[in-house]
Amino acid sequence: MDQVPGSPKEPQDARDDDGLPGCHRHPDRPTGIRCTRCDRPICPECMVSASVGFQCPECVRGGGGTGHAPQAAAPRTIAGGTIAADPRLITKILLGLNAAVFVAVLATGGDLSPLVNRLDLLGLAADPSRYQLIGVAEGEWYRLLTAMFLHQQIAHFAFNMLSLWWLGPPLEAALGRLRFIALYLLAGLGGSALSYLLAAPGQPSLGASGAIFGLLGATAVLLRRLNYDMKPVLILLGINLAFTFLWPNIAWQAHVGGLVVGAVVAFGMVHAPRDRRTLVHAATCAVVFLAITAVVWVRTLQLVG
């Protein structure tokens, strides 16, 4: 049997004396507006503006009002990332990884820990204990990454982690989680690559400083993009660069490499055209990674050729 307007089975279409149906969520409120997606009557309280007409709350929750998933209409960061409930999650994970490796080093002998010799950045050297050559040039590519999470001295570890906690959350909130972790890893690898290229082959280095300088460079780029006062970050950058070149036993190559890569990646992320963000971000990261790979390849040919 056909359903007719006003039937008890469909009270949302009940009509008033003027012949207007009642809102499907508030049947006692007559309305002449219908949802452009489901065609159900909606009152002014239930109307949600759409690109064309109005939609009911159920359709908005179910499809974003545009035919895309609801996440497509979610607020975005300046770099196009999704706004997360916890903008410090990746920063906390990075802190945890660094802390875990540091505790492992302390637990296995501190400065004499075998983990240091296995995980630090080393171009090419002889290992008397194993009677063989070791280092990145000998195929131990992982050292470029593991050195970023390796610390020996408490002061070095504490300074880097405090810097990460200070610089990380604002960048993570501005870029989004995926872009932030890409920035951090690429900056760290950029610092490792420049150290590998310019430092003496047998000179070991370690620490998260390359990645931290990358965050510092990215912060400067972000503040410039937002037209914020850059004096504080420029002063901080100047102080850190002064320490880099004036303090003994500091791998300045990692600091400079991380700083340059961090600034380049951040520039590509915050200045990408809105309609081509994903493409520009992916291309920026890919080009930087290929440049890092090329530097490592050239240096390896120099050492083993």
The residues annotated with a catalytic role in the active site are 209, 255
C-alpha to C-alpha distances, 29 to 7, 32, 46, 60, 120, nearest whole angstrom: 17, 10, 11, 21, 72
Q: How far apart are CA 140 and CA 122, in angstroms?
A: 9
DSSP at 133 = E
Q: How far apart are CA 72 and CA 54, in angstroms?
A: 18
Residue 24 DSSP SS3: coil
Q: Find out whether 151 and 98 touch, Cβ atoms under 8 Å.
A: yes
Q: How far apart are CA 223 and CA 217, in angstroms?
A: 10
Q: Find out whether 53 and 36 touch, Cβ atoms under 8 Å.
A: yes
Strands 48-49 and 54-55: antiparallel
Q: How far apart are CA 219 and CA 216, in angstroms?
A: 5
Burial 166-204 (b: 16+ CB within 10 A, else e): ebbbbbbbbbbbebbbbbbbbbbbbbbbbbbbbbeeeeb
CA dihedral 273, 276, 277, 281 (to 10 degrees): -110
Q: How far apart are CA 94 and CA 172, in angstroms?
A: 12
C-alpha 80 chain-centroid distance: 11
Residue 50 structure tokens: 């759409």
